Structure 1
Amino acid sequence: MPPPPSSATLRPRPKRPLDVPPISPPTQPRRDIFAEVTVLVTLSRATTLVATSIAFATLLLVPPRYLEPVYGNVLPSLNFQHNFFCAIFVGALSGALIWFFTKDPQRGSSPIDFFLYVCLDLCALLLAISPSTYAQMFTFSSQWGPIWGSTVTQFALVYPAAFFLGLANFFAYTPRSNEVNVRLQTRVFYLIMHINLILLFTNTLWTFTRDITGHSCQQLFGAGLLISAVVALFKALLRTPRRQGRENKPKPIQSNDPSMIMSTPLWKLAFLFFPQFITILTAIFNHQSNPQCATSLTPRHNLASSPYRILARTESITGWISVVEELPPGRNIRLLRAGHSILGGIFRATGDSVFGAFYFMEAVRLVERKRNVGVGERALQ
């Protein structure tokens, strides 16, 4: 008979612990790059995008065509786009230097918005005032020559406007105090989106502007008026109550808050919108008093001291098309011109074509000479 089991053998077998998965640390919620981009879409950046698109569509097309009566069709376009984008880059680089030496994370976005609309106001004013310099362009064209004359003219008006656009776009892209948590890849994505939208809107407006035949003067100060109106709307919206936060609750506004437009003194409002007032006055002056901006002939087009008389003219995308007479005691001819090219013409006294003079001189050059001829035959040629 086997011995009874001892207490040691009756001890219960220890239970094997169950396989419990390890507790993972709490994970951070996945951040959506598109949700972060919405934080970067602000009023100042939207204003800059619209104003830059309007300026690009005008400045890349109209100024070379506007200089055509002075310098022709080719010379104003030489290296124009390269110089234009270099001015944009220099403006953005200057903005980076200004921001680097004056940045203060605690100051918010008010100084940035101030620099922004000052740059856009100057760009609009340069566009509106540019048709007023047409008489001076004729004076300096004889001093600087055909190549440097157009470049110097663009350096006085177009390239400074491009410089201010570069400044404005950099100031619009600088980080605000409420954007410190936005990741770098989100900023890069927004920058690419910002550039693509500018190119898209510029191409659309450029196609629309290119289809408009003529009236380059009106397009210049018209673009200045549009940019000035966009900036005026931006200034007004900066001083109106806005909703903040995700709860969509309006921010409490005191009736005597000096930052609101309804509580701003009248003299401050006049100073704030003074650039818009100057731009409007400049556009009105060019439309009423500048003969280059007139859509029809005026007495200022035909001066008594000039040997030429303009009978009719119209502006196209290739330059000015005009009918001009050279009065006696000159050659007494009537010409149809497109810019600096002669499309046709007649002698007023006889009605013969003026191209006969060109044909006769060209025929002498095109006659093929014989190589091996005698002395008598050579004398006949």
Structure 2
Amino acid sequence: MARTRKALPIQYILTLTLTCLTAPLLFANVARFVAPIYGHFLASQYHFHAATASVLIGGVLGYFKAPKNARLPLSIGIASLLGLMIGYMRFSFDYSGTLGSMLGPLVSMAIVYPVLGLQTAALVSRLPQKKMDSALLVCGVLVGSFLNAQKVDTLVRKLLDVKTCGIIDLAIYGWITLAFLDALDMWPRTGDLPSPALQEKKTNTDGKGEKIERKRASGKRGEKETGVQSTTPLPSSDSSSVMSKSFNLILAIALPLLLRSSFNGGLQCNLPSVDQPEQHGKYSILARAESVTGYLSVIEDPNFHDGTRFLRCDHSLIGGAYLQYEMDSVFGSFYYLDFVRFVARKKDDTEKALQIGLGIGVTTRSLTLHTSIQVDLVELDPVVYTYARKYFDLPEPHSVHFSDGRAFLDDAPDGVYDYVLHDVFTGGLVPSTLFSVEALQNVRRVLKPNGVLALNYVGTLHSLATKSVIKTLHTVFPNLECYTEDPKETTGPDAIYNIVFFASSKQIVFLPPSEDDMARGGLYAEFLKTFDDHRVDLDFRAVDGELMTDKKNMLPQLQIESAKKHWKVMRKLFGIEFWGV
């Protein structure tokens, strides 16, 4: 006769589903939640290591220490920590200036690590067969899920149309459900109280050692006669047990929800469209959204230079404009990419420029309004483009492509563009895939033979990261020129500044601007007038850096120091009052 397999308890199936799904989602979304305060790169730097350690510790506890009666406390504990999570992280932001860019993210995300550990312990303790290899498999699967957390997060967001706080709320409701089922499982049943069984073992006289078991159940004769199972009423001493388990049932639901409702703050919580400016101290929020590149907001300071508007992405400013000065850029060096058109070269009747990375559209706006150059725009984040159009007077470019810049370059036709404008810095670093030899070879391929690349990089001239960018650029383009911001901004231990490289297959010579160009006034005319003073005289052939390729690209590691410096610079510009709105 075939042996039937015992069905798995619903609590085990739910624990398995919750842990495997919420672990990568929590891993991804707590980093998203703190990114507006620390930047995504710094928030993620040690996150994987801490999460992995939490899972391994939880696996050990679940295998060796967690008794069966700990299941309900584990479920309630996890749900309660999740309910407290948003409030704790929001509270920790007030101390970000003191904690700094390295310790701060770990302290802010500290609450998620016990959650990940307890989830692992809960799952391991419920395994149908608690074996070491099964426990190791659980830990391995969860750690592996962290490596694919962004993909899981993207899929869930698309399917359920939820944001960061919504995903944390889903995790809360899931663990509340499990805690409720665990509490029900402990509820005393009055109609099915088993009587003690008597087992007798006899040894055969033939020496074979056969064991015979005989079970006697009290009330069996009555069952045969009446056909009704006998029931035993609960003793009065069990009333306290009923009260205790009723309390557990209420606690499993009420405590996590109470904690969550008490701390309902957060930059990514409650993100409706802003119909009217929201006042936060001296700042006004005109728009905000959680999007592809992070937390975006348009913030206005009515007092700074009679009104200044900024576009923020996480802990970085990707542009700003003076409202009383025809939306003149706050950061004058952003106009440098526009100056690419002053390079002496034979020009066609129709010139085309490829802009990779928009910001608030300083260069695209300048070229579109004041020249006949057709600009093809490539921007990863559609919300950035929407905000630039609505709040920073960006005119409609010749064409717009919402795409990864590297993917667009790989598929773009040869010899199309007179200029490529490359500006993808945000959050303290640049994507390394757009700075490899192969990426720059694609830039050279899409340029006309006498075309020019203008590339913005943020760092310091003497860092290994910048030297590696220079070496890689010079490997692809034989002719380079380099310009920086005000020399006063390039000194000091924490200095970090915009560095714009102009690269071409032909010699680079800048022609003087026309009277019409100078007549534009503002920071544009000021930076154009002093442009030659910002040239850096470098022997590019002698620069010793790392050659960056798609297979070997050290730029992410090399940018750690510049990311820290960028965070400090942003905090000098604005305090937590600005970054916390």
TM-score (norm 1): 0.65
> Is the counterpart of residue 79 in structure 1 residue 247 in structure 2?
no
> Is the counterpart of residue 328 in structure 1 residue 283 in structure 2?
no
> Which of 271, 275, 278 is 2:252 aligned to?
275
Which structure 2 segments of 5+ residues have no match?
Answer: 195-227, 337-484, 486-498, 500-530, 540-581
**C-alpha deviation, 1:331, in angstroms:** 6.4
Which letter does structure 1 place at the counterpart of 2:46?
N
1:68 is matched with 35
* SS of 2:303 mapped into structure 1: coil
1:315–1:60 distance in 2 versus 1, CA, 3 Å? same
1:265 is matched with 242
Question: Is the Cα–Cα contact under 8 Å of residues 131 and 221 in structure 1 kept in the other structure?
Answer: no
> Which of 178, 193, 197 is 1:230 aligned to?
178
After superposition, where does 1:32-51 map in structure 2 within 5 Å?
38-39=5-6, 41-51=8-18
Question: Is the Cα–Cα contact under 8 Å of residues 124 and 227 in structure 1 kept in the other structure?
Answer: yes
> Which of 126, 150, 156 is 1:209 aligned to?
156
Question: Is the Cα–Cα contact under 8 Å of residues 12 and 126 in structure 2 kept in the other structure?
Answer: yes
TM-score (norm 2): 0.44
In 2, Cα distance between equivalents of 1:301 and 1:320: 16
1:58 is matched with 25
In 1, Cα distance between equivalents of 2:84 and 2:108: 13
2:535 is matched with 367
Deviates most, 219-228 or 293-302: 293-302
Paired residues, number? 303
> Is the counterpart of residue 91 in structure 1 residue 58 in structure 2?
yes
After superposition, where does 1:249-328 map in structure 2 within 5 Å?
254=231, 256=233, 265-266=242-243, 268-287=245-264, 293-296=269-272, 302-304=279-281, 306=282, 308-328=283-303
**C-alpha deviation, 1:139, in angstroms:** 2.3
In 1, Cα distance between equivalents of 2:315 and 2:231: 64
Question: Is the Cα–Cα contact under 8 Å of residues 310 and 322 in structure 1 kept in the other structure?
Answer: yes
In 2, Cα distance between equivalents of 1:142 and 1:236: 46
Question: Is the Cα–Cα contact under 8 Å of residues 82 and 168 in structure 2 kept in the other structure?
Answer: yes
In 1, Cα distance between equivalents of 2:50 and 2:310: 36
Question: Is the Cα–Cα contact under 8 Å of residues 312 and 319 in structure 2 kept in the other structure?
Answer: yes
* SS of 1:294 mapped into structure 2: coil
Deviations 1:96-138 (A, max 9, x none): 4426xxxxxxxxxxx50x2122112211211121111244222
* SS of 2:155 mapped into structure 1: helix
1:340 is matched with 315
1:355–1:273 distance in 2 versus 1, CA, 3 Å? same
In 1, Cα distance between equivalents of 2:533 and 2:126: 63
After superposition, where does 1:139-288 map in structure 2 within 5 Å?
139-155=94-110, 157-173=111-127, 206-211=153-158, 215-237=163-185, 239=187, 254=231, 256=233, 265-266=242-243, 268-287=245-264
Higher relative helix content = 1
Deviates most, 265-274 or 163-172: 265-274
Question: Is the Cα–Cα contact under 8 Å of residues 39 and 314 in structure 2 kept in the other structure?
Answer: yes
* SS of 1:295 mapped into structure 2: coil
RCO comparison, higher one (Cα < 8 Å, 6+): 1
1:275–1:331 distance in 2 versus 1, CA, 3 Å? farther
Question: Is the Cα–Cα contact under 8 Å of residues 213 and 317 in structure 1 kept in the other structure?
Answer: no
**C-alpha deviation, 1:74, in angstroms:** 0.8
1:88–1:192 distance in 2 versus 1, CA, 3 Å? closer
Deviations 1:182-222 (A, max 9, x none): xx7xx85798599769989x979645334366631232133
**C-alpha deviation, 1:253, in angstroms:** 8.2
1:354–1:115 distance in 2 versus 1, CA, 3 Å? same
Deviations 1:243-294 (A, max 9, x none): x9xxxxxx96846458xx999735531233303211122233344x667522
Higher relative strand content = 2
1:19 is matched with none
* SS of 1:273 mapped into structure 2: helix
* SS of 1:67 mapped into structure 2: helix
* SS of 2:271 mapped into structure 1: coil
Question: Is the Cα–Cα contact under 8 Å of residues 128 and 222 in structure 1 kept in the other structure?
Answer: no
1:205–1:346 distance in 2 versus 1, CA, 3 Å? closer
1:298–1:133 distance in 2 versus 1, CA, 3 Å? farther
In 1, Cα distance between equivalents of 2:232 and 2:142: 39
1:226–1:169 distance in 2 versus 1, CA, 3 Å? closer
1:160–1:282 distance in 2 versus 1, CA, 3 Å? same
Question: Is the Cα–Cα contact under 8 Å of residues 257 and 263 in structure 1 kept in the other structure?
Answer: no
1:214–1:272 distance in 2 versus 1, CA, 3 Å? closer
Deviates most, 42-51 or 203-212: 203-212
> Is the counterpart of residue 118 in structure 1 residue 65 in structure 2?
no
**C-alpha deviation, 1:60, in angstroms:** 1.8
1:356–1:162 distance in 2 versus 1, CA, 3 Å? closer
In 2, Cα distance between equivalents of 1:39 and 1:221: 33
In 1, Cα distance between equivalents of 2:134 and 2:115: 27
Which structure 1 segments of 5+ residues have no match?
Answer: 1-28, 100-110, 177-183, 245-250, 372-381
> In terms of Rg, which structure is larger?
1
